[in-house]
Each structure stands twice: as structure tokens, then as C-alpha cells.
Structure 1
Amino acid sequence: MRITSEENDMRDAAVLDDPAGRYPAYDFSRPAQLGRESIRHLEAAFESFARLWSSQLTAKIRVRAHLALEWVELVSYEEYAITLPATTAMVTGALPDRDEPCVVQFGLDSALLWVVQMMGGKSTSLPEARTFTPIELALVRNLMEGTFEHLGASLGPLLPGGPVYSGVHYNPQYMQVVSATAAVIVARYTMRLGDSETSATVMLPASAVVDRLAETGSGSTAAHGAGQTLDQVRNAPMEVTLRLAPITIGAGEVLDLAPGDLLRLPHPETKPFELVAGTTPLARATPGAQGSRLACTITAIHEETN
């Protein structure tokens, strides 16, 4: 067995990285999370949409409707789909110059209640869920065309343009308009129709929203954010080490070491030392002193680290 000083450096670096295991492992299979400001901006837009959609439903179906926003989050489409019923109404809206649609989802039982009320009937409870007949689909489409107008008006510059009704899907697992791993922004609502309570969601393709979400802030805010990021990077603590050329010795020699023993180092006296961060060489430096403290003078910077 042979022990090198580089192996000791690697072990020490591993201990210094996270000795207490305080930092959870990052899951690269999940989308990155939205910032606090972005979430607040989206919540304001989705709450505005909730008010407009509530007013539209109340006027159209002659039943008092109320929507309350529960939360907004960034997830993969697969994570979103598994939270939905196996059969539900997923109304897609086409976005200008985009292949991925936005989706307004609600229960089929809720939509059938809307149809009953729009046809002049009366219902105090949600009907049994089933897919739409052609006449029911035409009524739902007419209603949803207005809903997508409200969605476009509420989100404004966050979308590439106003969404336009494009179709209804009944099974979220088989809706192939969005890949399973694609990142989507989901707003979940509690929907109250008279005495009945159910849920609804709005899904937006993250690729169509995130860049515009950043652009909606003022230019100074964006610049300030970039400056803050740079400042944090510059102020991040980093351990650097002044390192001689490594020496390799046998384990037996290590066990026989005693005070007063000398080890011949292969580092020439005139050769500068290596300044390293972890195992990455940063520069070459010569040792010296500044007052009562040891110091080093930088003699050369490794170009590849700039």
C-alpha cells in the first residue's frame, strides 16, 4: 500500500464539503423551482383569472360560482397528471407559435352541471361524470372560448399571446400534447358551485412562461438580480492551499516515522508552489511573509481557470 499527499487532500476535501450532511441531494430529474418573486407574480395573475372565471360562470350558468387559488408550483407534466382523476375534462388552448398548449382542467361532473343550468334545468348536486355528447361539447366549447380570453387577459405578457380553444381531452395520462418530463406551471383552485365543491387546475408550459416571467420585472430589478448573483459568487468562501509537489512513500516508512526524521521532497527549491482550490490548480506562488503572518506572492495565473 502506498499513500500520497494528493489522496490525503482528496479525503480532507470530502470532509470539508459537507461534514454534517446538511445539504440535501439535488434531484436533477425535477424542474428547478421558481423564485419567490416569480411565484408572487404568478399568484396575482392566477387570482385575477379566478375572479374573471367566477364572474363568467355565475353569469352563464345562473349558479353562484367562486374559485379560490390554493397554490402555484412548477412540476413535470407526469407529476401533474398523476394528481388528476383518470377521466376528467382537460380543455386545451393553443398558444401562438408554440407546439405546447395551455390546459384548463375541471371535473366532468362540474361541466355537466354547467350544461344542465345553461339549458334551463335545475340541479342542486353534481351529476354523475361522463364524457360529453356533441351538443354538450358545443356548449362547453362556447363557454371555454370566453374562459381562454379571460386567461389571456389575466396573464397578459406572461404568455406569448392569447390562448385559443383547440379541443377537449378526457384522459391526462394519454394526452400526448406535452411530454411526460416537460416542466409545467400548475395553478390549483377550489371551485364552489352553489352548495357543491370541487377542484380545477390551469396548466401552462413552463418553456412559454419562465423567460417572459423574468422580463416582466423592471430592467433595474433584472440588473440588480444579476448583480446580486455575481456578488454572491464573488463572496462565496473558498479554501485555497499552497501545495508542494507530492511525494510517494511506502506505508512501512509512514509507520516508522519519528520526531526528527527528515523527508526529502521532490519539489525544487527554485520552483514556485501550486495554489489550488480542492484539486483545481489556480496559480503559482512563492512563499513569503507579511508582518508576522505567512503569505505568498502570485507569480503566474493558470489561464484555463480565468
Structure 2
Amino acid sequence: MSISVEENPMTAAAALHDPAGRYPAYDFSRPAQLGRESTRHLEAAFESFARLWSSQLTAKVRVRAHLSLEGVELVSYEEYAATLPGTTAMVTGSFADRDEPCVVQFGLDSALLWVVQMMGGRSTSLPEARTFTPIELALVRNLMDGTFEHLHASLGGLLPGEPRFAAVHYNPQYMQVISAAAAVIVARYTMRLGETETTATVMLPASAVVDRLAATGSDASAVHSAQHTLDQVRSTPLEVTLRLAPLTIGAGQVLDLAPGDLLRLPHPETTPYELVAGGTHLARATPGSRGSRLTFRITTTHEETI
């Protein structure tokens, strides 16, 4: 019996040294990324919002609603808009003293189903998507006022204030309230309304959230002070050396050294030694002993003069 072995031309060693195999491609058009702790913080906040929004829809629309968070990401608005349908409901919420809004997005067919249910109708399927009539817009606005309250309650200090209903946009490509290259934080949801399943998203301007998100990090609770800095400096390990005056000899003399040779040091017996740390002279000290260990006693310290 014969066994044939086919060798892979890309060996493990070659793959290890192949830059394309070792390092993932880096997208310089999107240098900003969310840290792991920041992502977990946002996910917890957006999951809390999902529970509140589900309860609101269930109570107002009278259809059991459930939202599950699919993920949170940091992208440009252009990338976010490219993932949305050409026609959809994008409800913007404005913040006081800020130009960039937040957005709660959902399908027009989902919103029309909400309207049918709120008006006392019954529907087991999503109606055909279309823009809102004035009456439908008023009902959706009333519903979204509560939704923005839940968003503010869930994200709390991550938002620059409580968002207020501003407008409804139907085309994400033509929404001119934020630039295409602006970084945004997007939470994506799967929304179940009775027997139907759709999607929804929440978009927040990164410029309004990232700084507040960093301020809530694990190290943000520690109040920085000069005393903390001093304590860190005092506890830093530092190697010190007790040094005699140096002796200069020729290279040939060094090569001729042998066991038993004596070298006369230029350091006087009564002169203290130099205490040195990292090449910096700290003090003068005299050697001594305590039990079986060598010691030294500080005699004078060097003071810097400006």
C-alpha cells in the first residue's frame, strides 16, 4: 500500500511571514473604532432602549412587539445610508445647541401597520409602503415623542440632552442634516410585530457621544490629582548604584589582566562614594554594613540650581 502526500505550497512558516496573512487590512478611511468596553456600554444602553420601545409599541399599537439588538457599530453616515431602503421612515430628533440630529429609522410598512392598529383596525400583514398622510404623520409623531423619551432614559449621560421630534425624512440619501463623511453610531434591531418581522435602526452622531462615552470608562471614576501623580512617582522602582571615582587604563593593560593583579583606584579612602541613578548623581554616601548585608549612609545630597 502506498500513501501519497500533497504538499501545500503555502507552508506555515511562509504564512507566518506573509504580511497579508499576519495582519488584517486597515481601512484608513475609517480610522476610528469603538473600544470593547465602549461597545459593551452602548450595547447595554441600546438593549435597555429596546425593552422600553417594545413595551411602548405593545401598549400603543395593541400588537405584541419585540425588539432584539443585532449589533452596534461606528461607521460613516454614507455607509449607514447605503444599508437602508431607498424609501423608509427616518424620524430625526434634534438636540439643543447641536446641529447633528439622532435618527430612529423603521420601515414605512411597519409604521402604517402601527397607524392601522391605533385607529382600531386589524391587520395580520404589513401594508404596502408609502409616505404618510397628515393624519398618519400626526399619529406617528405622537408615538415618536415617547420613543425619544425612552431613548434619552436609556442612554442618559451619553446624549448631549433630550432629543425632540424634528421631522420625518423618507430618503436617506437626501437627508441633508448630516454630512456623508460624518461618523455615526448605529444600533440595528430585528423588530417582531405579531407574526411579522422587520428591521429598525437608531443612529447617533459620534461627535456627540464618543467623548461622553470615554468619560464613563472604568478609569473615569478615579479623580486625577497631583497627589495621585506623586504617589505613582514614589512607587516607581528605581535602581541606584554606589560608584567610586572611575579609573582610566589602556586597552592593552586590560587585555593583560590576570587573577591576582591589583589596580590602584584614584578614589581617596576618606572621600564618600557617588550615589547614581540612571546616570544622574543623587548624593554622596559612605559604605558600611549591618549584619551580613552591606549598607551606605547618605552624607550629602545634590541640589539642582536654576
Is the structural similarity TM-score above 0.5?
Answer: yes
Taking structure 1 as reference, are residues 31 and 162 closer, same or farther at Cα in structure 2, changes over 3 Å only? farther
Shift of 1:139: 0.3
Aligned twin of 1:170? 170
TM-score, with length taken from structure 1: 0.66
Question: Which runs of structure 2 are paired with 1:171-250 in the superposition (5 Å)?
Answer: 171-219=171-219
What SS is found at the alignment partner of 2:210?
helix
Of 206-215 and 23-32, more deviation after overlay is shown by 23-32
Q: Which has the higher contact order (CA 8 A, sep 6+)?
A: 1
Q: Report if the CA contact (8 A) 2:93-2:148 is conserved.
A: yes
Superposed displacement of residue 206, structure 1: 0.3
Report the alpha carbon displacement of residue 33 of structure 1 after superposing the two structures with TM: 1.1
Q: Which residue of 2 aligns with 1:114?
A: 114
For residue 97 of structure 1, report the CA deviation from its aligned partner: 1.6
> Partners in 2 of 1:44 and 1:113 — Cα distance?
29
1:82 — aligned with what?
82
Task: Tell me which residue corresponds to 2:94.
Answer: 94
Between the aligned residues of both structures, percent identity stands at 83
Q: Which residue of 2 aligns with 1:20?
A: 18
2:7 aligned residue: none
- Counterparts of 1:51 and 1:130, CA distance in 2: 28
In the other structure, the counterpart of 1:5 is none
> Displacement of 1:26 after TM fit?
2.6
Asked whether the equivalents of residues 31 and 74 of structure 1 are also in contact (C-alpha less than 8 Å), the reply is: no
Aligned to 2:174, the other structure's residue is in SS state coil
- Report the structure number with the largest CA radius of gyration: 2
| Aligned residues: CA RMSD | 2.5
User: CA-to-partner distance for each residue in 1:160-210, whole Å, 9 max, x for gaps?
Assistant: 111100000000000011111110000000000000000000000000000
- 1:154 and 1:140 map into 2 onto residues whose CA distance is 21
Helix, strand or coil for the counterpart of 1:210? Answer: helix
Cross-structure match for 1:143: 143
Equivalent residue number for residue 56 of structure 1: 56
**Equivalent-residue separation in structure 2 for 1:194 and 1:60 (angstroms):** 14
C-alpha deviation, 1:27, in angstroms: 1.9
Cα shift readout 1:211-235 (whole Å, capped 9, x = no counterpart): 00011124456789xx9xxxxxxxx
In structure 2, the partner of 1:253 is none
Look up the equivalent residue of 2:210 and give its one-letter code.
Answer: V
**2:146 is matched by which residue type in structure 1?**
G
Change (3 A) 1:110 1:222: farther
The corresponding residue for 1:9 is none
**Superposition TM-score, scaled by structure 2 size:** 0.66
Determine the C-alpha separation between the residues in 2 that align with 1:44 and 1:160: 18
Q: Residue by residue, what CA displacement relative to the aligned partner does 1:74-115 show, whole Å, maximum 9, x if unpaired?
A: 001011001000000000000122100000000000000000
Name the count of aligned residue pairs. Answer: 213
Q: Deviation string for 1:225-257 (max 9, x for gaps)?
A: xx9xxxxxxxxxxxxxxxxxxxxxxxxxxxxxx
SS of corresponding position for 1:173? helix
Cα shift at 1:31: 4.3
Equivalent residue, structure 1, for 2:37: 37
SS at match of 1:84: coil
8 Å CA contact retained: 1:191, 1:197: yes
SS in 2 for 1:166: strand
Residues 104-144 of structure 1, C-alpha deviations (whole Å, 9 max, x = no match) = 00000000000000000000000000000000000000000
Q: Look up the equivalent residue of 1:146 and give its one-letter code.
A: G
Judge conservation of contact 1:73–1:185 (CA < 8 Å) in 2: yes
- Given that 1:31 and 1:76 are in contact with CA atoms closer than 8 Å, whether structure 2 keeps it comes out as no
- One-letter code of the match for 1:185? I
**Distance in 2 between the 1:221 and 1:33 partners?**
23
- Structure 1 unaligned residues grouped into runs of 5+: 1-17, 228-287, 292-297, 299-306
Q: Structure 2 CA distance, aligned partners of 1:117 and 1:163?
A: 26
For 1:220 and 1:186, the matched residues in 2 are separated by: 24
